[in-house]
Amino acid sequence: MESMAARRTKRTLRKNEFRKRLCEAKQFASEPGSKIVDPADCVSLLEAVIQSGDRVALEGNNQKQADFLADCLCNMDAKRVNNLHMVQSVIALPSHCEVFERGIAGLADFSYSSPQSARVAQMVSEGKMKIGEIHTYLELFGRYFVDLTPDVALVTAISADRAGNLYTGPNTEDTPTIVEATKFRQGIVVAQVEKIVDRLPRVDIPGEWVDFLVPVGRPCYTEPLFTRDPALITDVHVLMAMMVIKGIYGEYGVRSLNHGIGFGTCAIELLLPTFAESLGLKGKICSHWTVNPHPSLIPAIECGFVESVHSFGSEVGMEDYMASRPDVFFIGPDGTMRSNRAMCQVAGHYAVDAFVGSTLQVDRYGNSSAAVAGRIAGFGGAPNMGCDPPGRRHSTPSWLRAGRESAMTSGLIGPVERGRKLVIQMVETFGAGRVPSFVHRLDAWTLMEEAGFAIPPIMMYGDAITHLVTEEGIAHLLRCDSLKQREAAIKAVAGYTDLGREADPKETLELRRHGIVQTPEDLGIDIGDANTSHLAARSIRELVEWSGGLYRPPDRFREW
Amino acid sequence: MALERLEFEYTGEPEEKRNGWEYLHVGHVMSGDLEILAERLPAQANASKIHVTTSAVGFGSVWQMVIDEFMATHKARGCEIWINDDGATPAVVKLRLSQLVREMSAK
C-alpha cells in the first residue's frame, strides 16, 4: 500500500504540473487575463503547454480539421518538444504526418487514416511512426476515458467569446468528447477559431473547459466527404440498390438505418422517391437515419420518406437546407444543426435495424476488408455500425424477423428468442480495373505481415454479415445453417471471379429454391430495366433544385 | 492502346418472335463501360455473330463464359452484334446485354 504522503503527492502532482504550464503560457495571452493568443504566438504557446512524451489529441475529424494548430505543432522545436503520443480520430492532413516526419511525435493511436494511408504505411516501415493500436471511433473515445486520456487537446470551432465558450456549428463532431476527456483530468485545451465574437449563436463547449483561443481569421479546413455526385452512379449500382430495397428493406421492414459512403447506398437513397415509392414502401422503410447529411437524401426527405436524421458530422453546403428542416435534423435553439460523432456512433451501433456498407475484398467466409498492401487506412466507424451489438435488448420488427431467420445463433443459448441487426455488404464482383472483389486471401493478411499487426485488419467479420449483395443477387447469409452453406451462398453471388467460378450450379439452384440466394429474376427485377433514369436526381444540380436552392454544393461539384 | 478482338458464333432457332427492329444501340464507350450495336440479319438467318473489341487484353475466357451463359438464357439469334468495350466488368457486360434484349423485345 502506498504511504499517505505518496498518495497526496500523486493526487496533486498532475494538477500542479498543468497549473505550472498554464502560468508559463499566460505570457502569450494578447492581454493580461485574456484567453486569446495571437496566431503569431501560437507555436510558442504550444511549446509552453506541451512537453515531451505528452499525449496530444489533435482534432482531426472526418470533416473539420484543426489545421492551423496542426501546422503550429509541426513548427515546434523538435529538440525542445518530441516523442509526443498522438491520440486522434483521423490522420487526414499532410501536417498530421509531418509532425512525425519532423520527429516531434513518435507514437499514434487512431481510428482512420485513409486520406494519408500510403504515407502512414511508409512512415511505419521507416520507423518514423509507431502505431499503438488502430481503433474504431467508439473504442478510441472509450480509451480517452480509460488509459489514453489526452494531456493536451488542440481543437477547432467556428467562433468563441472572450470567456472561452465555443460555438462549433453543425460540425460539432468529436469536439465535446475530446474536450471532456482532457479537461476533467486537468489537461489543457487550446482551440483555434475563425473569430472572437461578443455573443455566440449557442454554446457547444463551456468556456471554463477551454484554456486558450487562437483566432485565425479564416474557417478551418473542412472536407465534403459524404457528397456523391449522382452523375457517377452506374446502372449496376441501380440494379444492386433495387435488390436491396425490394429484397431486404421491403422484406424485413427496415425502419432505422445507417448508410456507409459509396455509390450503391447513394443509389438506394435516390431510388426511395421513385422505385421504393412504386412498391408502396413509403412510410414502411427508411424513416429514421443515423448518417451524415448526405445531399443525396434530399429527394427522399422532400418526398416525406424521412422522419429523422442524426449525424456524426455535417456536410459542406447542407447547412441552410438542414436549418430549413428542423422536423428532420437535430437543430439547436439557435437554428443550426449540431452533430456529435460519439452519440451518432452509439445510435448507429445500438439503435438501428440495418447497416449497409461496401468493401474492396470479401473472402469465402464473408470476412471483408478494405485493406490494401502498402496502405494503412484504419477502420473509422464501420465496424461498430456493421455488427450485431450483443448488448442490444430492445426489439423492432426487422430485428425480430432477422433473429428468427438466423440459423446459427441458437447454438449457445438454447431455445431463446433473440433479434439481430441486419448488416448488409454491397459489393460488385469486380472493382475498378476488373480487379476481383472476391478473393481466396484478403490483402489484410499481407498488410498484417508488412506492418507487424497482431491480427489482420478485418473491417467486418463474416459472422457479422447477414446479407451480401452483388450484381448477381442477394446471399441471405443469416439463413445459412453451416459455414459450408455460407461459403456456397457467397460463391453463388461471386460472379465470374475465381471464387465465383467454384460455385456448383446445382447447389446454387438449391440455395435459390430455399430463398438463401435470390437473383434479380427471383426478386422480380428485370436487369434490363435497371438504369439511372429511375434516380430521383441524376446530377448535383438536380439535388440543388430538390432543395429549393438551399443546398449549396462546394465549387468542385458545380458544373454550371 | 492495344486492343483485343474476339469473335463468338451461336446457332439455333430464334425463340423470340421477330419484332420490327433493324438496328439497336445500348450503352456507351467510356472507362468501365461498353456499347453494343446490333443489326437484324435476313429472316432465314438463325445464327448470331458477336464481335468484341476490347481495351482489356487477356480476358477472353471470361468473355466466353459471360456470353455463353447469356446466349443460353436469351435466344438472341439471327442478328449480328458488335461490342466495343473500354474495360467494363462482367456485371456491366451482362447488364448491357440484358438492356439489349429488352430493346429487342420492345420494338
Could A531 and B101 be called an inter-chain contact, meaning their C-beta atoms sit closer than 8 Å?
Answer: no
Nearest CA in chain B to A239: B95
Q: Is pLDDT above 80 for B44?
A: no
When pLDDT is cut at 50, 70 and 90, the band that residue B16 belongs to is: low
| A371 and A469 co-located in one domain | yes
Can you read off the three cell numbers belonging to residue A293? 447529411
For residue A13, which phi and psi values (nearest 5 degrees)? -60, -55
Q: Is pLDDT above 70 for B14?
A: no
Q: Kindly state whether residue A251 falls inside one of the protein's structural domains.
A: yes
Which of A265, A263, A301 lies closest to A282, judged by CA? A301
Q: Kindly state whether residue A5 falls inside one of the protein's structural domains.
A: no
Q: Kindly state whether residue A27 falls inside one of the protein's structural domains.
A: yes
Say what the pTM is. 0.94
Cβ contacts of B43 within 8 Å, gap of 6 or more: B18, B78
| A325 and A464 co-located in one domain | yes
Q: Is pLDDT above 80 for A203?
A: yes
Domain count, chain B: 1
Nearest Cβ partner of B98 from A234, A495, A528? A528
Cβ contacts of A324 within 8 Å, gap of 6 or more: A548, A550
Could A434 and B33 be called an inter-chain contact, meaning their C-beta atoms sit closer than 8 Å?
Answer: no
Q: Is pLDDT above 60 for A175?
A: yes
| A378 and A487 co-located in one domain | yes
Q: What's the ipTM? A: 0.86
A335-349: pLDDT as tens digits = 999 999 999 999 999
B46-86: pLDDT as tens digits = 788 999 999 988 889 999 999 999 888 887 778 899 999 99
Residue type, A92: A
Report the alpha-carbon angle A513-A515-A516, nearest 5.
110
Could B92 and A429 be called an inter-chain contact, meaning their C-beta atoms sit closer than 8 Å?
Answer: no
Could B90 and A430 be called an inter-chain contact, meaning their C-beta atoms sit closer than 8 Å?
Answer: yes
Chain centre to alpha carbon of residue A479: 29
Q: Is pLDDT above 80 for B107?
A: no
Angle (deg, nearest 10), helices A117-125 and A94-101: 10
The full DSSP string for A113-157 is -GGGHHHHHHHHHTTS-EEEEE-BHHHHHHHHTTT---SEEEEEE
Q: Is A529 on the interface with B (CB under 8 A)?
A: yes
The C-alpha atoms of residue A92 and residue A108 are separated, in whole angstroms, by 13
The C-alpha atoms of residue A17 and residue A1 are separated, in whole angstroms, by 24
Nearest CA in chain A to B103: A528
Q: How far is A536 from chain B (nearest CA, A)?
A: 21
Range with lowest mean pLDDT among A186-200, A472-486, B57-71? B57-71
Cβ contacts of A434 within 8 Å, gap of 6 or more: B56, B59, B87, B89
Q: Is A430 on the interface with B (CB under 8 A)?
A: yes
Which of A296, A317, A286 lies closest to A232, judged by CA? A296
How many other C-beta atoms lie within 10 A of the C-beta of residue A98? Answer: 17
Q: Is B86 on the interface with A (CB under 8 A)?
A: no
Q: Could you tell me the sign of the dihedral formed by the alpha carbons of A165, A167, A168, A172, in that order?
A: positive
Domain assignment of residue B66, given as a range: 4-106
Highest mean pLDDT among A5-9, A533-537, B9-13: A533-537
Could B32 and A235 be called an inter-chain contact, meaning their C-beta atoms sit closer than 8 Å?
Answer: no
**Three-state SS annotation for chain B:** CCCEEEEEEEECCCCCCCCCCCEEEEECCCCCEEEEEEEECCCCCCEEEEEEEECCCCCHHHHHHHHHHHHHHCCCCCEEEEEEEECCCHHHHHHHHHHHHHHHHHC
Range with lowest mean pLDDT among A99-103, A429-433, B96-100? A429-433
DSSP SS3 for A513: helix
CATH of the domain at A68: 3.40.1080.10
pLDDT mean over A219-246 = 95
Domain count, chain A: 2
- What local confidence, expressed as pLDDT, does residue A261 receive? 85
Residue A474: CA count within 13 A, CB half-sphere: 30
Nearest CA in chain A to B27: A235
A242-270: pLDDT as tens digits = 999 999 999 999 999 999 888 999 999 99
The C-alpha atoms of residue A297 and residue A27 are separated, in whole angstroms, by 50
Among residues A165, A188, A215, which one ends one of the domains? Answer: A215
CATH of the domain at B13: 3.30.230
When pLDDT is cut at 50, 70 and 90, the band that residue A207 belongs to is: very high
Which residues in chain B are contacts of A496 at CB distance < 8 A? 62, 65-66, 90
The C-alpha atoms of residue A308 and residue A325 are separated, in whole angstroms, by 10
A134-157: pLDDT as tens digits = 999 999 999 999 999 999 999 999
Domain assignment of residue A451, given as a range: 230-408+417-544
Q: Kindly state whether residue A441 falls inside one of the protein's structural domains.
A: yes
Give me the residues of B, 45-84, that contact A with CB < 8 A.
Answer: 56, 59, 62, 65-66
Residue to test with chain A: of B89, B97, B99, B103, most A Cβ within 10 A: B89
Q: Kindly state whether residue A81 falls inside one of the protein's structural domains.
A: yes
Q: How far is A528 from chain B (nearest CA, A)?
A: 4
